[in-house]
Structure 1
Amino acid sequence: MTLRVGLLAEGAAPYGGPVVDFAEALTKAVDRSGLSLERIQHHLAARGMQVSLSTLSYWRRGRSRPERPESLKVVAALEDLLDLGEGFLTDRLGDKRPRGRWVGQAMSIEDMWDSRATDLGEVMARIDRLQPTASTYVSVQDRQVIGPDRREVSNRCTGVVQALEDGVDRFLAIQLADATDLGVPSIEAGPPCRLGRVRGEDSTGFLVAEILFDRMLRAGETALVDYTVRMRPGADSEVCDRRFLRPVGEYTLQIDFHPDAVPARCYEFARPSLQEPETALNDLWIGTTASTHIHVRNIKPGIRGVRWEWE
């Protein structure tokens, strides 16, 4: 069973060059049309295209750009909807951005979720008037509990989130259930944060939840977060990972196994993106408390996690 945890609020930095040209062209076209992003989203949905308000806002602000075939179809529809010439926006995208490199720039949602990015967008679209927030983890710790039946019980996340611009008061936590799970997990938040809107769909396996800070942040200010995801597993657990869209200063992942369910082998792995294979890094020692962990500093965008074998 796979546990995947992400943070959508990790707004990507502008890529510069052609991406900024695309963002500026889209912004001017939207402003000229007089349509809100909500109305644009509604018109696209009427054409059978599901895209989240977060994605549209990211495109406008140059924080990400459309690259997947599904996204490019949305861009073509925008050209028609906004009364632009064919190729007006598409031609401004430039060459496809290199993928899968361990670089300091941010990655897009599509890098981290691949073909599931469309499913994620559909779930996000069900949160009315959702707007992305420019924030990122300074440090984060995950603590996963495995029960006596070898199945995951819960994952608690605590961390420090920093605002990248003024007016940030929340971020989005994302959880993807494994195909063998009995349904999407539940989520709860503890002080000093609390839950906002929550959407989950068994059909896609995604859970998307707003984690609300105890105050509105200015750029550079930080907030503490504390939330717990409770699983509905249907098979043995084998892996826990987190997907980082932006560089993070410090990450700790702790796995607490039940004394009656200790795996035969446990190791750390890394994956630059879903387009590249996993690389096993280090075998991990499981101590007398049936627990193991990894602690990583200066993490680049990508996937980091722990995998284990029962036999």
Structure 2
Amino acid sequence: MPGPPFRPVGPARRPELLQALRTGPFDLALRTAIRASGLSLEGIQRRLDRRGVQVSVSSLSYWQRGRSRPERPDSLAAVRVLEEVLGLHRDELVVLLGPRRPRGRWVEHVPGSLDYASTFGDPAVEGVLADLDPRTNARLETLHTRVDVHIGARREERRVDIVQVVRALAAGVDRLILLTQAKPEMSAGADLGLSDLVGCRLGRRRVDRERGLAAAELLLDLVLGPGQCTVVEYSYAYPSKQVATHYQRMVRFPGKNLVLRALFDPADLPAGCTALWRPQHDAPPSSDEQLRVSPVGHACAVFPDVTPGIYGLSWEWNEDLAPVPPRAG
């Protein structure tokens, strides 16, 4: 037999809460229930944690603002505990979620494509993309991508330069979405470390500092029709003193001709460099290839047929050779 409903633990329900729980939508009902409870998001998170449920403050914030919603089984289970924390009856929030939203005919249309969570290993990716159309990149086919990873004299990653040739699969294609890292000081109005844009300009930007994620629209200079192509170029840099040992590029859709190049300082070459691929974030490498590092410091991997997954370069440093010390002043 089903258990008894949860008893409200807060004050008598106000009309706005009753209305929101009756008609939804989910984000409005959750936001109203949180306000009625008098609890902060941090306080709710602590109460969930004491009940063995792990939900980040950013996820709670996204849910109540409608930027994402719980859909996976563990998230739905968390909502049931959240009902208890907020003093609601069983399933009062869950019923407002309805069936799981389709991920768009374009994602389903591309055979073998991966969702963002499988590729990046963090469900919060969908949150940072919540009000950007997740189908955007599925409307484009990537014909060629070249990535140049510049490694400095102190073994740090200095800059990454990217050139992409894309072809539209539908009418009215005018943008693509880029996911990247977010630094703690980064704001949604910042350039996200992007520079030297060619064939495109920055559109809307979203930042999740807690998860270290950022998303940006690159608005194409040309609106493409089916079969039309364009070239976009951009660079990004995140100043760091950490020694770099790898680079990864996440690919969600099948494509063609991916070129990854690591450009090392000729005065400090790595002991070895390897090209890697794995089908998703939590899988071991399915293939690896030892690369030759040229005397001028270039190591290059070419993938002529690109299947979705994680592509990367990994290198090892000679431990007996210290990197060039920083200059005084």
Normalised to the residue count of structure 1, the TM-score between the two structures is 0.67
Gap runs ≥5 in structure 1: 1-38, 57-64, 94-102
State the match for 2:119 in structure 1.
112
RMSD over equivalenced CA pairs, Å? 3.4
Conserved? CA contact 1:104–1:300, under 8 Å: no
State the match for 1:246 in structure 2.
253
State the match for 1:143 in structure 2.
148
State the match for 1:50 in structure 2.
62
State the match for 2:95 in structure 1.
80
CA distance in structure 2 between the aligned counterparts of 1:262 and 1:182, rounded to whole angstroms: 32
2:295 to 281, 288, 303: 288
State the match for 2:48 in structure 1.
none
CA distance in structure 2 between the aligned counterparts of 1:111 and 1:44, rounded to whole angstroms: 30
Conserved? CA contact 1:156–1:229, under 8 Å: yes
1:123 to 110, 124, 128: 128
Note the 1:110-259 alignment, pairs <5 A: 110-114=117-121, 116-118=122-124, 120-125=125-130, 129-132=131-134, 133=136, 134-176=139-181, 186-259=193-266
Conserved? CA contact 2:117–2:126, under 8 Å: no
Return the letter of the residue paired with 2:203.
Answer: G
- CA 1:206 to 1:138, structure 2 compared with 1: closer, same or farther past 3 Å? same
State the match for 1:36 in structure 2.
none
How much has 1:49 moved relative to structure 2? 5.9
Conserved? CA contact 1:139–1:159, under 8 Å: yes
State the match for 1:22 in structure 2.
none
State the match for 2:51 in structure 1.
none
What does the per-residue CA deviation read over 1:278-310, in whole Å, with 9 as the maximum and x for residues that have no partner? Answer: 245111111021111101111111011110011
What does the per-residue CA deviation read over 1:221-245, in whole Å, with 9 as the maximum and x for residues that have no partner? Answer: 2221111111222410011121111
Report the structure number with the largest CA radius of gyration.
Answer: 2
State the match for 1:12 in structure 2.
none
Conserved? CA contact 1:270–1:281, under 8 Å: yes
CA distance in structure 1 between the aligned counterparts of 2:194 and 2:128, rounded to whole angstroms: 16
- CA 1:70 to 1:157, structure 2 compared with 1: closer, same or farther past 3 Å? farther
CA distance in structure 2 between the aligned counterparts of 1:167 and 1:217, rounded to whole angstroms: 6
CA distance in structure 1 between the aligned counterparts of 2:238 and 2:112, rounded to whole angstroms: 32
**Bigger shift: residues 197-206 or 285-294:** 197-206
How much has 1:136 moved relative to structure 2? 3.5
How many pairs does the alignment contain?
Answer: 242
| Percentage identity across paired residues of the two chains | 24
How much has 1:158 moved relative to structure 2? 0.5
Return the letter of the residue paired with 1:43.
Answer: L
Conserved? CA contact 1:54–1:131, under 8 Å: no
**Bigger shift: residues 136-145 or 41-50:** 41-50
Conserved? CA contact 1:141–1:158, under 8 Å: yes
SS, match of residue 190 in structure 1? strand
Return the letter of the residue paired with 2:114.
Answer: M
How much has 1:68 moved relative to structure 2? 6.1
How much has 1:146 moved relative to structure 2? 0.4
Conserved? CA contact 2:27–2:66, under 8 Å: no
- CA 1:49 to 1:55, structure 2 compared with 1: closer, same or farther past 3 Å? closer
- CA 1:41 to 1:113, structure 2 compared with 1: closer, same or farther past 3 Å? farther
Pick 1 or 2: higher relative contact order, CA cutoff 8 A, min separation 6.
Answer: 1
Conserved? CA contact 1:267–1:280, under 8 Å: no
SS, match of residue 43 in structure 1? helix
CA distance in structure 1 between the aligned counterparts of 2:95 and 2:227, rounded to whole angstroms: 39
